[in-house]
Amino acid sequence: MTTLAIADGRVLRPDLTVTAADVLIDQDSGEIREIGPDLASEADDTLDAANSLVTPGFVNGHCHVAMTLLRGYADDKPLETWLREDIWPAEGELTAADIRAGAELGLLELIKSGVTAFADMYFQVPEVAAAVETAGLRARLGHGIVTIGKDGETAREDAATGLEIAREYDGAADGRISTAFMPHSLTTVGSEYLTEFVPKAREAGVPIHYHANETADEVAPIVDEHGVRPLEYAADRGLLEPEDFVAHGVHVDETEIELLAEVGTGVIHCPASNMKLASGMAPVERLREAGVTVGLGTDGAASNNDLSMLDEARDAAMLGKLAADDASAVPAEAVVEMMTRGSADAVGFESGRLEVGAPADLAVIDLEQPHLTPPHDLVSHLAYAAAAADVRHTVCDGRVLMRDREVLTLEAAAVRERALEAAEAVVERADA
Ligand SMILES: [Zn+2]
């Protein structure tokens, strides 16, 4: 057995207490073997965590990681206009190599900000999977299916690709990659394709992930056409099972909240994207009260504009209070839970908690920073004051992905260079 010790840190436990302890990891199984005092001397390798907080690796529950290439390309527009005028035309220009370059840039950013697992919806998924395999993170990947505006044959092909990708890549990268069937949303995929392909996805044993109730404009057409709320429509078509998870859930009514709680479908809250696109305020406090599993996601870099889960946690707490008109709503403990085991449970990862037998997915946060002083309450610091640049080490599946702020699995300078070139060329083609 090869072992790694995270030495002399303060460890955030699943009950959100913090204890001074070492964490001993079995690198062969990728699991946490022991948490306690004086474990470092027997380890093969050690990461120093003195004056640092050892937290579960953050889980980004909803992302489009290759969209980093479009960061800052188009801002300050509502969702529909932004997608139609800027994002979709630019995405139409992305080649497989561009998506690889964008994914690697995104993964570099995720590792540097302490993220160890994420769910991603995009196209050219084999490129994203290859980047994940190299970078060493854990991921649930899927091909984002869109059928509106396409002829029958092309639309069907897109749905078939979504199913094929879900089947082929589930369990890839020694099990670090899992998949989901990912219709883009309930309004961008025709009902006949859901009827045909959802049962096949169930047979393949993969969950289903989609954008739901993101804007008011997306809710109205379903209510008008089908006479039911979007999540009732989803349930009727077999898209709402305990293993499934939806992104956003901004405009959900009480019936839908109860439905989510009853079934056990998770919701990934994306507060930065919702604020930036003025999509609305998700009723996070109400969702949690009702017993819905709530996770956190950054969404794509073009609507955020970074992939930092620490920023997202702070946004979630602030927006949750405004939405509930109550300063005690969505407290620090809630957002720390959401960014770790909330997302992990919703997406279907076993990570998100530091305990014996759990996956060794963790991040080490440098507390020797002016903005993290004094250390009255480290859960509060994680929710309100810590930043991506405070992350010292990132470990996933027992492997060190970043040591002393240096990413070991990707060559940072080369990744950045390739992304720069790809991004410039894409924008040139899109604007031509
Ligand atoms: Zn999204």
CB atoms within 10 A of CB 371: 10
Per-residue pLDDT of the chain (432 residues; tens, 9 = 90+): 999 999 999 999 999 999 999 999 999 999 999 999 999 998 999 999 999 999 999 999 999 999 999 999 999 998 889 989 999 999 999 999 999 999 999 999 999 999 999 999 999 999 999 999 999 999 999 999 999 999 999 999 999 999 999 999 999 999 999 999 999 999 999 999 999 999 999 999 999 999 999 999 999 999 999 999 999 999 999 999 999 999 999 999 999 999 999 999 999 999 999 999 999 999 999 999 999 999 999 999 999 999 999 999 999 999 999 999 999 999 999 999 999 999 999 999 999 999 999 999 999 999 999 999 999 999 999 999 999 999 999 999 999 999 999 999 999 999 999 999 999 999 999 988
pTM of the model: 0.98
Rounded to whole angstroms, how far apart are CA atoms 344 and 163?
Answer: 23
- Structure confidence at residue 432 (pLDDT): 85
Identify which of 165, 69, 83 has the alpha carbon closest to the alpha carbon of residue 123: 165
Cα(247) to centroid of ligand 1, in Å?
Answer: 7
- Structure confidence at residue 68 (pLDDT): 98
User: Binding site: which residues?
Assistant: 62, 64, 91, 184, 211, 214, 299
Q: What letters, b where the CB count within 10 A reaches 16 and e where it falls short, cover 296-307?
A: bbbbbbbbbbbb
Cα(432) to centroid of ligand 1, in Å?
Answer: 27
User: Binding site for Zn(2+): which residues?
Assistant: 62, 64, 211, 299
Cα(84) to centroid of ligand 1, in Å?
Answer: 15
- Structure confidence at residue 152 (pLDDT): 95
Cα(189) to centroid of ligand 1, in Å?
Answer: 15
Domains observed in the chain: 3-56+358-407 (2.30.40.10), 58-347 (3.20.20.140)
pLDDT tens digit sequence for 380-390: 999 999 999 99
- Structure confidence at residue 79 (pLDDT): 86
Cα(383) to centroid of ligand 1, in Å?
Answer: 23
Cα(113) to centroid of ligand 1, in Å?
Answer: 20
User: What does the block give as tokens for 20?
Assistant: 């001074």
pLDDT tens digit sequence for 305-335: 999 999 999 999 999 999 999 999 999 999 9
Cα(181) to centroid of ligand 1, in Å?
Answer: 14
User: Binding site for substrate: which residues?
Assistant: 91, 184, 214, 299
